[in-house]
Structure 1
Amino acid sequence: MPNTNPARARDFTDPRIPNRDECVLRYLVDRWAVERPDKVHVVWEDGEEWTFADVRRRITEKAAGLEKLGVRQGDFVAVWLPNGRDALLAFYAINYLGAVFVPFNTAYRGNLLAHVVANSGAKLIIAHPDLVGRMGEIDRAGLAQLVLTTQGDAPDVGLEVTRFDDLAGDAVSPLDRPIQPWDIQSIIYTSGTTGPSKGVLSSYLHMFSNAGPESWPMVGEDDRYMCVAPIFHIGGMGPPFVMLARGASVAMVESFSTDRFWEIAARTKATVVFLLGVMATFLMKRPPSPEDRNHTVRKAFMVPLTDDAPAFTERFGIDIYTIFNMTEISSPIVSEANPVKRGTCGKARPGVEVRLVDANDCEVPVGEIGEMLVRTDRPWGMNSGYNRNPEATAKAWGNGWFHTGDAFRQDEDGYFYFVDRVKDAIRRRGENISSFEVEVEVCAHPAVREAAAIAVPSEFSEDEVMVVVAPVPGQAIDVPELARFLIDRMPYFMVPRYIRVMDELPKTPSAKVLKADLRSEGVTADTWDREKAGMRVRRESFAG
């Protein structure tokens, strides 16, 4: 939110750096509590509303309580909670002190839990009692204090225990120094699909740039963003912050529900939602209902953009936008409303530079596939590296550009198209195949809920294409019929040879499919082989 008030002096001479009260949580909370005390900032799923004045009162009380436990500016504080009031209060209170919010995925356990505990460097953790028992199974590294939420009991894991409900204080002490836009605001852990999760160091300015006015100009101060993603994920902790930066409101929902999505959106008066492509698919595969337009939502971010996006707009009465983003960057690719180009992610937004390069960081020609590299013209506009992992930081930031690990192509009009994770590309008989594009076609089948395309060894050379699919609840997948469906839709070289059906695809704690696990399992005993079934696909021939 640019500083348009001439009466307010600028904090910084660099015009690319917004004022502290435009991008730093503590000063935003203080500002809106004065300027908009009665405006609602948070609506909960059960209908309870918190105004900006309520928010400031609640979080300063918790911040004062954390300060009594020894939390100071710059400390890392772990939070291990499901979505809810306690999680949001913890997030805001930690940042209000100038400390660093370090959320853990509620599915963590064992070696993964031990890894993030050690990597975080946190001495205090705020946790739900139902999760605490898992800490008894690991080395708790430097953890010394446990703050328990709710009234439930938890096993003794050798930590000093305080109740979250008992955190209170009359006032927060003055800061040692002003909290700066470039100070670290959070550590968000990546999915760990190829190795141990990396802790992404994010500044306040990174979070502001991630979905601020330059990145998402279509979202304004009168909008209400319905957040259904977990708060330990960038998709869950980002929305409250970016709506706070706008002096706007957020509807906090426990989790995504296909059956209740529109009813919750209507009840909370949400105007903006974020939909993973699979969520949009779930909603489209529900039977049509008179309630499909009985809601207040007017804008949705759909990632990735599905082929039935125009039908989604028509059915639900919503303008669709799409973006490309990841935890480490700040929405460099954003589309216009209702993009007509199939499969696009949009164009590079103002303030970012984007290049597509080969393995040597040399740019590829327009139309060819290359890894996407990104940098911003705003200092601290992207991640500040990986916590306690200088090797990964140096590798990701090679040659002064952030390497996304994602392969794209760009058309002559400047639109970008996601092709694949670089590590997930498939090469079959001289053809490069995008696993993403295979998955899009497979998920177009009405009985398929989700799909993962992987490469498996061929008895000849290179790869064969295999897809692992899960059915829509209450339906069964007829595998030969699915193969015939795909033969009619796909180039011959993309048609999967192998199809395996599972009830659920294996996922990381942040719900990304574990393709590495599927590749290691390979062609299992329950995998259907199209060629052994006598269903061969031949190269098309054309008469001249």
Structure 2
Amino acid sequence: MDDATRAPARISVAPAPQAAQPADPRIPPRDRVVTRDLVDRWARERPDKTFLVFDDDGETWSYAQFRDRVVQTALGLQGLGVGQGDHVLVFAPNGREQIRVYFALNYLGAVYVPINTAYRGKLLEHVVEVSDARLAVVHGDLAPRLSEVATARLERLVILGPEAETRLPAVRYEEALLPETGELAAPARPIQPWDPMAIIYTSGTTGPSKGVLASYLHIFSNAGPETWPFVTEDDRYLINAPMFHIGGMGPMYVMLARGGSLAMVERFDTATFWDSVRNTGATVCFLLGVMATFLEKRPPAPDDADTPLRLALVVPLGEEALRFGKRFGIEIRTIFNMTEISSPLVSEANPSAVGACGTARPGVEVRLVDENDCEVARGTVGEMLVRTDRPWAMNSGYHRNPEATAKAWRNGWFHTGDAFRQDDAGNFFFVDRMKDAIRRRGENISSFEVEVEVVAHPDVNEAAAVAVPSEVGEDDVMVVVAPVAGREIDPAALLEFLRGRMAYFMVPRYIRVLPELPKTPSAKVMKTELRAQGAAGAWDREAAGIRVKGERFAG
């Protein structure tokens, strides 16, 4: 397939049915929110503006070329029986084909359902069945996994990339989704801002993955022009997260909503990150987890600040993130978000409150509550609850999971499952996932706050703090660390470093050193795997005879 070739001119598009704009002033017009209307609008108003730049070979797509590809792929999907409201799975790495399919599905009014490329076995079987999809677009290397699971509803596959043998009927992407002629039928009814555009699966760290129903208005509110006014139509957003993650698929849509542009890289790579920024002209990026730490700990170079990048959104906001901004001459901001909500916390530029996630943005209400949903005092840790003043600005529930939906949305607020505290200036500070909190000898410990101190050590590239069972009851603290390239970590020296930086009850008992921490494809540390390994074989400060000043009793 030569993707530089525009779709054939012999493809026509039937006019979409029209409807009155929503009367509610909180809901923007459809041509600012609905994918089909946005694709048509920008192809008409700015056909020659670059929408996409690909890092691998420098290829660019203008808005007119982008629409041609979307329409062509939509016609192919229509030929396979996909219509408005249908759910279609996409099980593939980032690439041109997935971009086409994502936007083509929404152009039809269908629902994009991407799957984590690491899924297999029972977890894969679960998400396929819950999706209600009859068709899946699958990379050839991943297709055999679908043949290994029971998929009663799935009827047909579209294979992209290498050939694959499957037990389900399959067609090649090039044969099915790149038609030369035809007419694209109009949706049966107007596509509305509150219609579902995607089902995005959560990571499933505490149970089976849940499918988050995301409307156009939800993803628009997540990082659109009103939520992130500091990102404009003149920016080029670097996409380095997988498209099955809100961090990959969300920015693609919201830059379309701005009439801006995108730079696509295969994945985040510390060694090639700045080359990708320069090659694509990217001006904005989002750095998850330890990405900023990795970049900040690389050896200095004379051209560190000589890049087009002007803004990085860094989560979480540690000391390394602020040093990263100063070193590379870019603006730093941070936010708090999750798949189900829409960036309720946003910081000012270059915030001074290290560790803060920002303040509540306009249009959202945020509360911190106890286990009975009663407000806690300022400065006290509580679970974060969120609601918005715009209808449909957050998730529409969990698909085919009414129990989880009711539990999350109880009392009219969405329960994030995250513990926070708020200072007198209105800044919110993430404390921990409720499930990740550690309790040691009567003290509650934030794994996040432990990790912030551990990664401050110059030899530590990344760190995770987890609870391990204590022989005297409750938990002991274990940190798992990976070294900066070319360095080694001495557990005793790291412990000495930490004793002067944290409360005595937070100082870890166990330290395990690994070459790198296990992660999901979306760069989240797999703490369940670290907990499952336990403390066996880890360095133990008590076995080494090291006590921590302040201990009220010892094991």
Write out the 4+ residue segments of structure 1 that deviate beyond 6 Å after TM superposition: none
Equivalent positions of 1:339-378 (< 5 A) are 339-378=351-390
Cα separation, 1, equivalents of 2:64 and 2:453: 49
Which stretch shifts more, 306-315 or 165-174?
165-174
Letter in 2 for 1:15: P
Equivalent positions of 1:241-390 (< 5 A) are 241-390=253-402
Cα separation, 2, equivalents of 1:309 and 1:511: 17
Offset of residue 133 of structure 1: 1.1
Offset of residue 53 of structure 1: 0.3
Offset of residue 513 of structure 1: 2.4
Offset of residue 174 of structure 1: 1.2
Cα separation, 1, equivalents of 2:473 and 2:172: 61
Which string of whole-angstrom CA distances, capped at 9 and with x for unpartnered residues, describes residues 315-337 of structure 1? Answer: 10000000000000000000000
Percent of aligned positions that are identical: 65
Which stretch shifts more, 319-328 or 482-491?
482-491
Residue aligning to 1:134: 145
Which string of whole-angstrom CA distances, capped at 9 and with x for unpartnered residues, describes residues 62-116 of structure 1? Answer: 1001101100000000011111101101101111000000001111111111111
- Kindly indicate whether the alpha-carbon contact (under 8 Å) linking 1:324 and 1:331 is maintained by their aligned counterparts in 2: yes
Offset of residue 10 of structure 1: 7.0
- Kindly indicate whether the alpha-carbon contact (under 8 Å) linking 2:243 and 2:249 is maintained by their aligned counterparts in 1: yes
Asked if 1:25 is matched to 2:40, the reply is no
Asked if 1:103 is matched to 2:117, the reply is no
Which string of whole-angstrom CA distances, capped at 9 and with x for unpartnered residues, describes residues 340-389 of structure 1? Answer: 01110000000000000000000000000000000000000000011111
- Kindly indicate whether the alpha-carbon contact (under 8 Å) linking 2:241 and 2:522 is maintained by their aligned counterparts in 1: no
Residue aligning to 2:24: 14
- Kindly indicate whether the alpha-carbon contact (under 8 Å) linking 2:83 and 2:110 is maintained by their aligned counterparts in 1: yes
Which string of whole-angstrom CA distances, capped at 9 and with x for unpartnered residues, describes residues 515-536 of structure 1? Answer: 2333233221x11110110121
Show structure 2 runs of 5+ residues with no match.
Answer: 1-18
Residue aligning to 1:60: 71
Cα separation, 1, equivalents of 2:485 and 2:451: 18
Residue aligning to 2:11: none
Residue aligning to 2:541: 530
Residue aligning to 1:469: 481
Cα separation, 2, equivalents of 1:111 and 1:459: 34
Letter in 2 for 1:382: M
Residue aligning to 1:5: none
Asked if 1:210 is matched to 2:222, the reply is yes
- Kindly indicate whether the alpha-carbon contact (under 8 Å) linking 1:24 and 1:204 is maintained by their aligned counterparts in 2: yes
Residue aligning to 1:94: 105
Cα separation, 2, equivalents of 1:287 and 1:502: 22
- Kindly indicate whether the alpha-carbon contact (under 8 Å) linking 2:159 and 2:170 is maintained by their aligned counterparts in 1: no
Cα separation, 2, equivalents of 1:281 and 1:197: 29
Residue aligning to 2:170: 160
- Kindly indicate whether the alpha-carbon contact (under 8 Å) linking 1:108 and 1:509 is maintained by their aligned counterparts in 2: no
SS in 1 for 2:357: strand
Cα separation, 2, equivalents of 1:289 and 1:518: 35
Asked if 1:420 is matched to 2:415, the reply is no
Which string of whole-angstrom CA distances, capped at 9 and with x for unpartnered residues, describes residues 251-271 of structure 1? Answer: 011100111111110111111
Equivalent positions of 1:150-229 (< 5 A) are 150=161, 152-164=162-174, 166-167=176-177, 168=179, 169-229=181-241
Offset of residue 442 of structure 1: 1.0
Which string of whole-angstrom CA distances, capped at 9 and with x for unpartnered residues, describes residues 457-515 of structure 1? Answer: 22333321111222234433211111111112222111101111223333345442232
Offset of residue 444 of structure 1: 1.4
Instruction: Tell me which of 488, 502, 507 is aligned to 2:500.
Output: 488
Asked if 1:441 is matched to 2:428, the reply is no
Cα separation, 2, equivalents of 1:471 and 1:170: 57
Cα separation, 2, equivalents of 1:487 and 1:165: 63
Which string of whole-angstrom CA distances, capped at 9 and with x for unpartnered residues, describes residues 288-324 of structure 1? Answer: 0012112101011000001133321221000000000
- Kindly indicate whether the alpha-carbon contact (under 8 Å) linking 1:143 and 1:159 is maintained by their aligned counterparts in 2: no
Which stretch shifts more, 477-486 or 13-22?
477-486
For the aligned residues, what is the CA RMSD? 1.6
Instruction: Tell me which of 37, 40, 49 is aligned to 2:60.
Output: 49
Which stretch shifts more, 510-519 or 324-333?
510-519
Letter in 1 for 2:364: V
Cα separation, 1, equivalents of 2:344 and 2:196: 21
The size of the alignment, in residue pairs, is: 532
SS in 2 for 1:195: coil
Offset of residue 158 of structure 1: 2.4
Offset of residue 540 of structure 1: 8.7
TM-score computed with the length of structure 1 as normaliser: 0.95
Cα separation, 2, equivalents of 1:183 and 1:507: 33
Cα separation, 1, equivalents of 2:283 and 2:423: 32
- Kindly indicate whether the alpha-carbon contact (under 8 Å) linking 1:10 and 1:19 is maintained by their aligned counterparts in 2: no
SS in 2 for 1:408: strand
Offset of residue 160 of structure 1: 3.5
SS in 2 for 1:449: strand
Residue aligning to 2:158: 147
Which string of whole-angstrom CA distances, capped at 9 and with x for unpartnered residues, describes residues 185-242 of structure 1? Answer: 0011111111111110000000000001221110011011011000111000011100
Letter in 2 for 1:375: R
SS in 1 for 2:194: coil
Cα separation, 2, equivalents of 1:357 and 1:431: 19
Residue aligning to 1:501: 513
Cα separation, 1, equivalents of 2:54 and 2:176: 22
Which string of whole-angstrom CA distances, capped at 9 and with x for unpartnered residues, describes residues 24-81 of structure 1? Answer: 1000000001011111111111211101100101110110011011000000000111
Residue aligning to 1:34: 44
SS in 2 for 1:308: helix
Cα separation, 1, equivalents of 2:314 and 2:171: 42
- Kindly indicate whether the alpha-carbon contact (under 8 Å) linking 2:77 and 2:176 is maintained by their aligned counterparts in 1: no
Cα separation, 1, equivalents of 2:126 and 2:28: 35
Cα separation, 2, equivalents of 1:384 and 1:339: 32
Cα separation, 2, equivalents of 1:67 and 1:457: 55
Residue aligning to 1:407: 419
Residue aligning to 1:82: 93
TM-score computed with the length of structure 2 as normaliser: 0.93
Going from structure 1 to structure 2, the CA distance change for 1:246 and 1:165 (only over 3 Å counts) comes to farther
Cα separation, 2, equivalents of 1:29 and 1:54: 11
- Kindly indicate whether the alpha-carbon contact (under 8 Å) linking 1:333 and 1:346 is maintained by their aligned counterparts in 2: yes
Letter in 1 for 2:80: L
Cα separation, 1, equivalents of 2:514 and 2:551: 32
Letter in 1 for 2:79: K
Cα separation, 1, equivalents of 2:306 and 2:523: 30
SS in 1 for 2:343: coil
